Amino acid sequence: MSGFKAFILKGNLIEIATGLIMALAFASVVSTFTAWLTGLLPETDSQLFSTAEQSFGAFLNAVVSFLIMAAVVYFFIVMPYTKAKERFFPAEEPGTPADVALLEEIRDLLRARGGAV
């Protein structure tokens, strides 16, 4: 079970899934925006303005849906994932990294022996 936990929390699985969800939601915003924009182009159809208004409404609906989706993803996926990752795999304490501390200790020992460092 610990291997699965490490797979879920240490890998980039959650980040990739979140990015895919947000990209798909944003694709809807882009497609409705282009539909609205192309609806503004002059046509021979007499229903030009009603089509443009409907397309703009669909665009606003897509933007609101994207913002709701972003909030849901953030509060139900990103925040719990971040808290679980911090709980199970805590970040290293701030300070001197272990390799630098070891090199400093060697330097101090050489200095104490009378070596020219």
* Residue 104 and residue 64 in contact, taking contact as beta carbons nearer than 8 Å: no
Residue 92 structure tokens: 């290293």
Cβ pair 51, 45 in contact under 8 A? yes
Alpha-carbon Rg of the chain, whole angstroms? 28
Mean pLDDT along residues 33-56: 71
Encode pLDDT of 58-113 as tens digits. Answer: 899 999 999 999 999 999 999 998 898 888 877 777 777 888 889 999 999 999 98
pTM of the model: 0.64
Decide: helix, strand or coil at residue 93: coil
- What are the structural domain ranges in the chain? 2-113
Residue 8's pLDDT is 72
**For position 50, what pLDDT does the model report?**
55
Token pair belonging to 61: 């609906």
